[in-house]
Amino acid sequence: MQNTEVPSRVAMPSFFGFLCRQVRRGLSGGGPTFKLGMILFLLNWPVGWGGGALCALLAAAYKSKFWLLAAGFLYIFSWIMLGVATILLGVDAKKRLLAQYKKSRIAFDRLKKYRLAKLKTKD
């Protein structure tokens, strides 16, 4: 038996869901520089924060300043990765993201109007 109940509020698609769809579309389409830029963009955060945290733990465990320097190097390297990714993605990514956001926003507005109209006719 299906649930035919219409919700009173329609939730906007989450930003994380929107971002995941863009990453999937970005990796499936575009040229090799676009794909490389997308991969660098995705690896930026884990390398900077994850690698830095791991090196800090190793520095605490082994009481070595080398691991603290390695943590700083990884953090700086992650910013370089972000810069290179931004250059590789460039204007093409901006145009793609804005176009997809506009499409999803229009679809969301249509869905909201449809559901609210259905709610009004139900009462």
Handedness of CA 75, 40, 93, 10 (dihedral sign): negative
Helix (H) or strand (E) holding 114: helix 65-122
Within a 13 Å sphere around the CA of 41, how many CA atoms are in the beta-carbon half?
19
Question: Which tens digits make up the pLDDT trace of 60-118?
Answer: 999 999 999 999 999 999 999 999 988 888 877 777 777 777 888 888 888 888 888 88
pLDDT at 7 over 60: no
Whether the pTM exceeds 0.75: the reply is no
- What's the per-residue H, E or C state across 36-64? HHHHHHHHHHHHHHHHHHHHHHHHHHHCC
Within a 13 Å sphere around the CA of 70, how many CA atoms are in the beta-carbon half?
15
